[in-house]
A and B are shown apart, each in its own frame.
Chain A
Amino acid sequence: MAIFEYAPAPESTDVVDIKPSYGLFINGEFVDGSGPTFKTINPATEVPLAEIATATSDDVDRAVQAARKAFGVWSALPGAERAKYLFRIARIIQERARELAVLESLDNGKPIRESRDVDLPLVAAHFFYYAGWADKLEYAGFGTKALGVAGQVIPWNFPLLMLAWKIAPALACGNTVVLKPAETTPLTALWFADICRQADLPPGVVNIVTGAGDTGAAVVAHPDVNKVAFTGSTEVGRIIARTVAGTDKKLTLELGGKAANIVFEDAAIDQAVEGIVNGIFFNQGHVCCAGSRLLVQESIQDELLDSLKRRLGTLRVGDPLDKNTDVGAINSADQLAKIRELSEIGESEGALRWSPACELPERGFWFPPTIFTGVAQSHTIARDEIFGPVLSVLTFRTPAEAVEKANNTPYGLSAGIWTEKGSRILWMADKLRAGVVWANTFNKFDPASPFGGYKESGYGREGGLLGLEAYLDV
């Protein structure tokens, strides 16, 4: 037994009062859905948390009508008035941060440390940021004319943060929204609906419709939706692009990734190791911009891998609500199956699999932090997005080879560069075909910084000044 064992430090769930069932949020009211209900469960325990309504296309139609009706009033408000609502929402989110963080961890499986220290501060920051833009649109360069009703479909990896990325700019620009959260993580979106009421947001400005793929498809396909924003898999992104093609709907897609995290021999090794860990094990690797391919310069491969393995040995995997947990639960049984399948393919194709010794809870969906060494570009695990805590390690010899390998992927969402040489950072950043290039850090987000992809990682930008373009009639 270790000398200094941390006693369990569970965050209390008393701050969250989950009702047995939830309806849809349409026109400022919670209403029943017409489809069959489904359960959302705690992925760490498989215990059901609540019954959730399914919105049918009729329900979606009602939501879109409510949004259309609200659009007239909302878009006519002076920007400064819309800003007041957004600032109010941001402050309420801060006030209720603990409650929302606990809820997010319960529904999603992510460690409370991350929902508390990363997700929630960023959510509030995003609303504050776009509240600031609402009365300054004429200076942004995209005009001031809102598009209308935005149909937004978001994923399960950062439920509330993705909601903030979608709703804050839409509202700041004068649009109204119909948002569908992921079916495995609908709760924080429903709490957000309550926050909208608390903030006295006019009815219909924000509508939340829950359900699975069919509900999302109905939102996207609705003829009275002017703008579609989607974050999720490339596969679904393609279907959406097809649906929207030939209409005058504006579309932004934020899809998958297979980011290269590139470590040069002159990197600050200890911090690079932290960056690799943060790049792929943050949020169980359920991050579209995760640094899932480690490209390490061959000259420091052994040294770096030793350090990395030692560091992985200190990762604390387990109860997401324990304040000392570093890696939580996989979000769903389906996702766990996918991670297992791809890891098995990795092994069968000849890559070497390694995980630190760690005890996983018996119930719930769990996957140990895993690294594959001896990976080549042609391996499936170097090509396909795994969306889990699995790192593929490849090597390179020269900066040019690093760029070539980093870019040799159908995706292009993010990349990381680790070197103490500033000129090389600039040279690399210029060559890498990725929406975000992090230098000597990874998975850092800021509402002022635009985010989005190249190639199969999607198009359009969210966040920052550029994020306004997607919600204005340019």
Chain B
Amino acid sequence: MEEEALVGDAVMVSTLTTSLADVAASGATLRAFLHGLPGVDRVGADQRAAMLGTRSIKTTAKAKAIDLAISMVDLTTLEGADTAGKVRAMCIKALRPGSDAPKVAAVCVYPDLVAVAAEAVRGSGVKVASVATAFPSGRSSLEVKVSDTALAVAAGADEIDMVIDRGAFLSGDYMKIFEEIVAVKAACGAAHLKVILETGELSTYDNVRRASWLAMLAGADFIKTSTGKVSPAATLPVTLIMLEAVRDFRDATGRQVGVKPAGGIRTTKDAIKNLVLVNETAGDDWLTPEWFRLGASSLLNDLLMQRQKLATGRYAGPDYFTLD
């Protein structure tokens, strides 16, 4: 990958790529780099996220934001009770969320149901994402994680949502995570790799920034906040810090990485606050489903409800929105 990037690219980019490649030369260099990143002041980050949360998005801006948010949804079901029938039903909803609303970006399922989902959305442009690598805890061997990934990719997954080993992260073994991401990325082939940091278990904002850079250095196409199985999941400050990370990473390397907050985003208001964060932190380049996703399940119906309210001036009851 590095070699290819050198060919035909600007000289500056290639030097930076090389210098960042050196970062992972050893556990010590990787640690030194990650701990050399600017810190995050918790109070200041919370304050900035809260301030952006007060933006008042109304009328035309709201209509636009709702459609944009729908088009960014990774419609998700990750239950032990998931069945082929349940997944098919969700896929149908993903393709036609309601009236003239846009399609969602992707459906997100467990690896064993990827084939069902891929069949259901074939040719629609809606992607199939699969969690993998011993989701949600990541507590297994690298072999299991890689074959879990390979299983999903073989079944037709366009995107893999892997989890990092938070135990390794908290014990300072960054190299282990780096190598796992590299190995999973290789197993992904053409599939995009989203790396789930599970920020709720990383506990500090400094750790969120370090984990973001670690994942990007190792080749993540997307960084994702949470599995949805741990609370807190995607908080605004955490998404803000990850947006700053992808912005700074592109400045440093020229490579753009996407961001996916997931878990706990249930209302239109939550979704719009996330879009405001993107708009005022990373900017226009990230305001597309290609670079920003919202991992959610119940959010879609609230978006549809608010969408109809904007169009008609009235709220319809919950029975007017399908439960799939």
Contact = CB atoms under 8 A, between A and B. Distances in A.
A135 interface: no
A268 B58 CA distance: 33
Nearest to A116: B54
Given A4-B65, A4-B287, A274 B47 contact: yes
A6 B57 contact: yes
B229 to A, nearest CB: 29
A271 interface: yes
Interface stretch (B22-30, B35-43, B77-85): B35-43
Interface in A5-57: 5-7, 9
B62 interface: yes
Interface string A236-269: 0000000000000000000000000000001111
B55 A268 contact: no
A7 to B, nearest CB: 4
Interface string A309-334: 00000100000000110000000000
A301 interface: no
A319 B59 CA distance: 18
Interface string B44-71: 1101100000111111111011001000
Nearest to A277: B48
Contact of B44 (A4, A113, A271): A271
Interface in B53-110: 54-62, 64-65, 68
Contact of B38 (A5, A6, A267, A440): A267
Contact of A4 (B39, B40, B275): B275
Contacts of A314: 280
Contacts of A6: 55-57, 61
A275 B60 CA distance: 32
A3 interface: yes
A442 to B, nearest CB: 10
B44 A3 contact: no
Main secondary structure of the interface of B (DSSP, over half): helix
B302 interface: no
Contacts of B41: 268, 271, 420, 440
B60 A117 contact: no
B5 to A, nearest CB: 24
Interface string B267-286: 00000000110111000100
A2 interface: yes
A373 interface: no
A441 interface: yes
A86 B276 CA distance: 40
Interface of B: 38-41, 43-45, 47-48, 54-62, 64-65, 68, 241, 244, 275-276, 278-280, 284, 287-288
Given A4-B64, A274-B44, A441-B43, 4 more contacts: A2-B284, A3-B279, A4-B279, A270-B45
The 4 closest A-B pairs by CB, nearest first: A271-B44, A9-B56, A323-B56, A7-B61
